[in-house]
Homo-oligomer: A and B are copies of this chain.
Amino acid sequence: MVQAAVMGYGVVGSGVVEVLTQHTDSIARRTKEEIGIKYILDIRDFPDSPFQDKFTKSFDDILNDDEVKVVAEVMGGVNPAYDFTKRLLESGKSVVTSNKELVATKGAELLRIAKEHNVNYLFEASVGGGVPIIRPLSQCLAANDVIEIAGILNGTTNFILTKMIRENMPFEDALKMAQELGYAEKNPTADVEGLDAGRKISILASLVYGKHVYPQYVHTQGITGITLEDVAYAASWGGVIKLIGQVKRLEDNTLDITVEPMLIEKSSQLANVDDVFNGILVRGDSTGDVVFYGKGAGKLPTASAVVADIMDCVKHLAKRKYLDWADGDASVVKPYQETSYPVYIRLSGNLPKQKISELVNTLFVNPREIVRSNAKPNEVAYAADDMTVEAQEKAMAALEENGIEVLSKIRISDL
C-alpha cells in the first residue's frame, strides 16, 4: 500500500478522491500496488463527507509524514500551491497537479527541484483535462520534430463561439448562458480574455521545445471583440472563428506563439471541435497531423488524469520520468509585431466601394473581397495574404487616415 495525499477538496480534488476510492481494485491491478489516501488538505470543513478521518488543515501533517509518497496538488492558483509543491518535492515526495497556472509560471523551477531530489512532478491534467496530451507529446511523439501545435484549449470560449456560430447568439447572451450552465465563472476574464488558453499553450510549448515559455511572452487576445458580423463573414469565407492557442518554431529558432481568435477553414480538423470540447492538433515531421479530442474540463475527466499521474508516480517511485525543460526568457519568443500571417479585415467607410477597394489593394497583399448576404451599408471585408503585424498595423492606420474604420482584424490560420 502506497499512501497519497490530496491538497484541495474543490471540484477536481473531490473527483480525485472519488476516482481513487471507487476504482481501488482496477487501480491496484494496474499499478501492482494499492493506493491509499492518508490526508485531504482543505481549510474548509466538510461535516457530511465520509472521509472525515482524512481531513486536515495542516500542510505539515502531509509534509512530515514519511509514509506519504505522492501528493495531488489540486488547489489551483500560484500561492500557496508553489510553496507547498516546492517543499514536498524537496522532502522527496512526488507531486502531480492539474494547476496550469503554477506549471505555466513555475514549471522549469519545479521540474528542476524534482530532478534534484529524484522525484516526479507530473501535470497531465493541466492541459486538456481528461484528454491525454502531455504524455503523448513527451513519449509517443518523441521521435518527431514537432513543427506546430494548435489547439482549442478552452471549453468556455469554445462553447460561446459555438453558440454565436450555430445560433447567431450575441457574445453577451452566450456568455450569460455559459455562466448559467456552470461552464463560465462569475468573473469570466481568465477564459474570455484567453489567459487560460495562454497558460496551456505555454506548457505545451515548453514541453516540446525544451525551454520554458512564460505566459507573459505569449501574445494573448480573447474573444470579447468577436461579433456576429465576423462570424457571418467567416462563414462566407468558408470557415469558422475559433480561439486558438498556437505555437510553431520559426526558421530563426524563435517561437511564433499566440492565443487569439482565428479563421479556420471548414475542412480543418479543428473546425468541428464544438461546444465545451477541446481539440489539439500536433503536426510532426514524421507523423503528420495527429489530433486529440475530448472534454477539456470537468470534475471526473480532470480527476482521472490526475489519478493516472498518481498511478504513474507509484509505478516509478524509484525512477524519474523524463519530463524536463530548461529555463527560458523573452528571447525564446518572436516579438508579436514581427510575426507574419494572413489576415481578415472588416471595414466601414463612406467612400465609394471602388475607392476602398483601390486603397486596400495598395495597402494589403493580394486582398480578396468576402461577400455576405445582409451586409450593413458601407461594410466591406477582405482576406489578405501574409504580412507582419507591424505592416498590418501601418496599413490599418493608413485606412483610418482615409476615413475608413477598421471594425475587425482577425488572423487566418494556416491549418
Contacts and interface: CB of A to CB of B under 8 A. Distances in A.
A19 to B, nearest CB: 5
A284 B135 contact: no
DSSP majority for the A interface?
mixed
B140 A305 contact: yes
Contacts of A285: 300
A144 B288 CA distance: 29
B26 A307 contact: no
Contact of A308 (B26, B132, B142): B142
A130 B272 contact: no
A32 B139 contact: no
Given A132-B136, A288-B295, A300-B287, A143 B308 contact: yes
Interface string A265-290: 00001001000000000001111111
Contacts of A286: 15, 19, 130, 300-301, 303-304
Nearest to A20: B143
Given A135-B140, A293-B290, A145 B301 contact: no
Given A143-B23, A311-B142, A294 B287 contact: yes
Question: Which of A142, A210, A303, A308: most chain B CB closer than 10 A?
Answer: A142
Nearest to A26: B145
Contacts of A143: 19-20, 23, 27, 303-305, 307-308, 310-311
Contacts of A136: 132, 135-136, 140
Contact of A139 (B23, B129, B131, B135): B135
A304 B284 contact: yes
11 contacts: A20-B143, A23-B143, A27-B143, A31-B322, A124-B140, A143-B307, A143-B311, A288-B295, A289-B295, A292-B292, A319-B319
Interface of A: 15, 19-20, 23, 26-27, 29-32, 124, 129-132, 135-136, 139-145, 210, 269, 272, 284-295, 298, 300-301, 303-305, 307-308, 310-312, 315, 319, 322
Task: List the 4 closest pairs (A to B, CB-CB), nearest first.
Answer: A132-B140, A130-B287, A286-B304, A143-B307
